[in-house]
Structure 1
Amino acid sequence: MWRHLGPGIVVAATGVGAGDLVATLIAGSRFGYALLWAAVAGCIVKIALSEGSARYHLATGSTILAGWRSLGRWTGWYFGIYVVIWGFIYGATAMSATALPLTALFPALSLRSWAMIAGVFGFVFVWFNRYDTFETVMKILVGTMFVIMVGLAILVAPGLPDLARGMAFSLPEGSLFYTLGLIGGVGGTITTAAYGYWTQAKGWRGTPWLPMMRVDNAVAYVVTGIFVVAMLIVGAELLHSAGIALEDSDRGLLGLSDVLEARFGRLVAALFLVGFAATSVSSLLGVWQGMSLFFSDWWYQLRGRDEAEGGREGSTAYRVYLGWLTFPPMILLFADRPFLLVIVYGAFGALFMPFLAITLLLLNNSDRLPAAARNGAVANVTLAGSAVLFVILAVQQVVQLAG
């Protein structure tokens, strides 16, 4: 069983990016350990979403996109419009996030140059490698970021009683929407739905693989939970206690590097930047590979081709979307304030997670799945709660963007 673990590590590593590091650090710096329970709840929500998506793949022998199509043609168009806009904006975001630690470690090149190098590296790697190699590299990156970030949490010496109190439900003043964002954002968004494609790429087929998938998914998000808790500890111990505020963006991680250098020396700061780079690179590679599989499946189903042709590595549609993630977004690296694109991206991004949670409720309680593979009470409660959470977050996002 341990030998088979892999797709869960991939989806968890893809979902935890620089934005999650910043959100968790800021939560720790502002509220100490008070929102520790929210970070753990976020992992539980993502376990339910990714497990539900992969269960549909394994139990039906089809894909989640085929399931959406059975709910109406509008779902295919919804996903298609979303994934094209999302890919264009996220491509630039991922390249920039990866470039930040690389620029800090190797300042001879500019941020823009490192961003382009990161994008081209992802493009070449995914173009010429198949899932087995991709999974191996992702495991190495996860191991690197896990050891460094957890080691950093141990270095700042957390107080165990404080950690225990952080698991008690509490909402400090002014923390409500920040808490909801922490629950909704930790561990990935659309990439949770790509888990089923990675289980298929791994060679898992049919309901006999369901127990293995559940163990794989749970192990991955336990690792994610420990990683996220470690970052919250760093924020609480290193920043909250000293009253240090970080910039609420990816650049805030560079601010943490400066704090670490001042307190522990250049070596620790450099190791943190290596962990930051591993986190960003794993997200970039995961999206480049997983979302290209997703797009490939959508494209071939849209054209009425055999479902077996969709979601394949190396297909024409797979490589077209891989290029779409890499090269057109480089335009945004030259734009200072692409307001319109940010607004459109935010609107579509906020509306996808409720779509995923609600459609999983509909699909996984239907007769499309064998009775033994349908949602149980725990899955239904978790998915329903997730749907309510994501609807609230979507309304909040739209209101903020309108403002």
Structure 2
Amino acid sequence: MFKKIGPGVLVAAAFVGPGTLTMCTLAGVRFGYSLIWALLVSIIATIVLQGMAGRIGLVTQSGLVDVVKQQVQSKGLRNLVIAIVFGAILVGNAAYEAGNIGGATLGLEQLISHQPLKPFLPLFIGLIIFFLLWFSTYKILEKIFVALVGIMGVSFVICAIITQPSITGIIKGMFVPQLPEGSLLTVIALVGTTVVPYNLFLHASLVKEKWTSKADLKTLNWDTILSIGLGGLVSMAILITASAAPLSDIGNALDMAVALEPLFGKMAVYFMATGLLAAGITSAITAPLAAAFVASSSFGWEGGMQNIKFKLVWLLVVLCGVVFLSFDIKPIQVIQFAQIANGILLPIMASLLLWVVNKKSVMGENKNTLLQNILGFAIVGFAIFLGAKSILKVIGLF
């Protein structure tokens, strides 16, 4: 079974990062179990979209940008799409890398000293990421991620179990949608941290590193469902744990563990810190990796992950994260641009995915079924709504 697990684990690790931890914690602290349904919808949407992206990668043995370049006939439109994608992924991931490294730093600080150790820890975490990416092949990274996601999953599920949650409350929150007053932006944020545009590029590119035959489609589908389902379980476990925390608000995910310490002892802090460290490292690896894959497809570089230009792109993203943290630079404007770009990118990429995955000339007999199209169009509509709301929020109109 473990030999069949592949790129889906990296996608799950990518979306369960410090940002997701913080948003799930906020949702649990502020609204209890009532927004679990939003996570369930997000996970289903992620499975559908990532399944399409993975299928395109396996059937065509190309990255998403390569396929789009081949299928969009208009040179002007093709260049516009590539520019939007490249700008959103490269700049966005460089901005968010600081948050990923910061989450790992926060977890490590709690495990070794309970005291802030900046600026040394961000550099230390950055060096770990550098060595893992520079010297690892896809197969090695896959094994590392299986281990880290396993640690992350066990840590957060144990945290949820020791809070002795209400099973009835969880089921109600999962299948009876509610929208408590003031919860709309939290719902948008929960979906936005789960359905991540850059993961579509990452998945399609990694699939061809793992499999080369259409006979592996069934394995690919199960890998996507199981891995992303596990990521969703981790997100729900964080929200459930936060519901039991005696807090009115939080500054970061680790605040929840500190609040739970009087109830469950120091082990709550250690479990949460371990999970946060694993989540930070996994997201800090996948974000620069996705940026490098997009750059590689955009400029037609050969040699895959071992290409020196490929390595320089992810190195630039990692350096941005370390520099932002080490010198306390607040990349607010860059992050705001990334939010706007991702708000535009998600519906564009979801629409392009649907278009490509329905082209018989590209997918042959593996094009979308009617059910997949119905789900896909529903997700595109929701993505347009989500993107519009996130853009309006950033520019101050909502």
Q: TM-score when scaled to structure 1?
A: 0.90
Q: Which amino acid letter does the alignment assign opposite residue 378 of structure 1?
A: L
Q: Higher mean Cα deviation, 113-122 or 169-178?
A: 169-178
Structure 1 residue 273 displacement after superposition: 0.6
Between the aligned partners of 2:200 and 2:85, the Cα distance in structure 1 is 14
Partner of 2:367: 374
Partner of 2:259: 259
Residue from 117, 133, 145 that aligns with 1:110 = 117
Structure 1 residue 295 displacement after superposition: 2.4
- Preserved CA contact (<8 Å) 2:28 2:242: yes
Residue from 180, 202, 219 that aligns with 2:188 = 180
Partner of 2:84: 78
Structure 1 residue 378 displacement after superposition: 2.2
Q: 1:201 to 1:221 in 2, by over 3 A?
A: same
The RMSD of aligned alpha carbons is 2.0
Alignment of 1:185-334 (within 5 A): 185-186=193-194, 188-202=196-210, 204-236=211-243, 238-239=244-245, 242=246, 244-247=247-250, 251-300=251-300, 309=302, 312-333=304-325, 334=327
Deviations 1:339-392 (A, max 9, x none): 322322222122221121111011111133344211112222222222222222
Q: Percent identity?
A: 22
SS in 2 for 1:252: coil
Deviations 1:24-66 (A, max 9, x none): 1211222221111111111111111111111111122322111
Stretches of structure 2 that go unaligned for 5 or more consecutive residues are 73-77
Alignment of 1:128-143 (within 5 A): 128-143=135-150
Deviations 1:87-133 (A, max 9, x none): 32122222222211122223466233211221221112110110111
Q: Which amino acid letter does the alignment assign opposite residue 306 of structure 2?
A: G
Stretches of structure 1 that go unaligned for 5 or more consecutive residues are none
Residue from 93, 103, 116 that aligns with 1:97 = 103
Alignment of 1:32-181 (within 5 A): 32-69=32-69, 70-71=71-72, 72-107=78-113, 110-166=117-173, 167-181=175-189
- Preserved CA contact (<8 Å) 2:29 2:248: yes
Q: Which amino acid letter does the alignment assign opposite residue 275 of structure 2?
A: G
- Preserved CA contact (<8 Å) 1:15 1:192: no
Between the aligned partners of 2:188 and 2:334, the Cα distance in structure 1 is 24
Deviations 1:272-294 (A, max 9, x none): 21111111111112223343233
Structure 1 residue 143 displacement after superposition: 0.8
Partner of 2:75: none
Partner of 2:351: 358
Q: Higher mean Cα deviation, 64-73 or 358-367?
A: 64-73
Structure 1 residue 67 displacement after superposition: 1.7
Between the aligned partners of 2:309 and 2:345, the Cα distance in structure 1 is 22
SS in 2 for 1:3: coil
Q: Which amino acid letter does the alignment assign opposite residue 248 of structure 2?
A: A
Between the aligned partners of 2:180 and 2:20, the Cα distance in structure 1 is 20
SS in 2 for 1:173: coil
- Preserved CA contact (<8 Å) 2:156 2:271: no
Q: Higher mean Cα deviation, 374-383 or 11-20?
A: 374-383
Between the aligned partners of 1:314 and 1:85, the Cα distance in structure 2 is 22
Between the aligned partners of 2:249 and 2:123, the Cα distance in structure 1 is 26
Between the aligned partners of 1:148 and 1:12, the Cα distance in structure 2 is 15
Q: Higher mean Cα deviation, 316-325 or 187-196?
A: 187-196
Structure 1 residue 336 displacement after superposition: 4.3
- Preserved CA contact (<8 Å) 1:299 1:317: no
- Preserved CA contact (<8 Å) 1:100 1:111: no
Between the aligned partners of 1:39 and 1:142, the Cα distance in structure 2 is 18
Between the aligned partners of 1:294 and 1:359, the Cα distance in structure 2 is 15
Q: TM-score when scaled to structure 2?
A: 0.91
Deviations 1:150-193 (A, max 9, x none): 11111111111112211212222222332233233226441233
Partner of 1:338: 331
Partner of 2:380: 387
